Homo-oligomer: A and B are copies of this chain.
Amino acid sequence: MTSANTAERLLDVAASLVQRRGFNAFSYRDLADVVGIKTASIHYHFPTKADLASALLTRYSEQLDEALAEIDRESRTARKRLARFVDLYRETAATGDRICLCGAMAADIGTLPDALRPQVHAYLDRSIAWLEQTISAGRRAGEIPSGGGARTLASMLVSALQGALIHARAIGSTEPVNAVERAMKPLFKS
């Protein structure tokens, strides 16, 4: 097994564990058991748990960039793009036991090394910036009604969707995510 493959599989399993249980509630042993190696071997790829967390956030941010680029490429109207952004969260909620990896990290921020803060911050900020840009473009095109600041609306949507994922998993229903979408409709539709 090459290093790249093992490291990648470790990240896959670790991401799943963080999203399902939280960063403080899984161990190198949990990881080792699933991947099929020993805990000592994990330290070869990720010397400390903080290194693992950082790698997870780096990869997750890249995946976000790819997802947003794909939306921009495939959907041309602001309303359709916003709907697809919500779909990203709906898909996570549909797993039934996962929340956003960045949301999970943010929820555990009080116990994470300070070095990880900027990465969590950047992920949230990237989401907000894309939404702000998309909303502003939609308004210029006359698709989306004017109202409050686009950035304010973007920030609120990110908070709402992150909260909805936590809410949804806690009550065992994806309805909170759908509620966010329905409640936001008047702000995006004339």
Which residues does A use to contact B, with CB under 8 Å?
A: 20-22, 24-25, 97, 99, 103-104, 106-111, 117, 120-121, 124-125, 147-149, 151-153, 155-164, 166-167, 169-172, 175-176, 179-180, 182-187
Contacts and interface: CB of A to CB of B under 8 A. Distances in A.
A32 to B, nearest CB: 19
A31 to B, nearest CB: 15
A183 B188 CA distance: 12
Contacts of A180: 155-156, 159-160
| Interface SS, A side | helix
B186 A148 contact: yes
A121 B24 CA distance: 23
26 contacts: A21-B111, A22-B22, A22-B107, A22-B108, A24-B25, A103-B166, A107-B107, A107-B166, A109-B166, A117-B170, A117-B172, A120-B170, A120-B171, A121-B171, A124-B170, A148-B183, A152-B179, A155-B175, A156-B164, A157-B183, A159-B161, A159-B167, A160-B163, A162-B163, A163-B166, A183-B187
Contacts of A149: 182
A127 to B, nearest CB: 10
Given A148-B182, A182-B148, A167 B171 contact: no
B169 A109 contact: yes
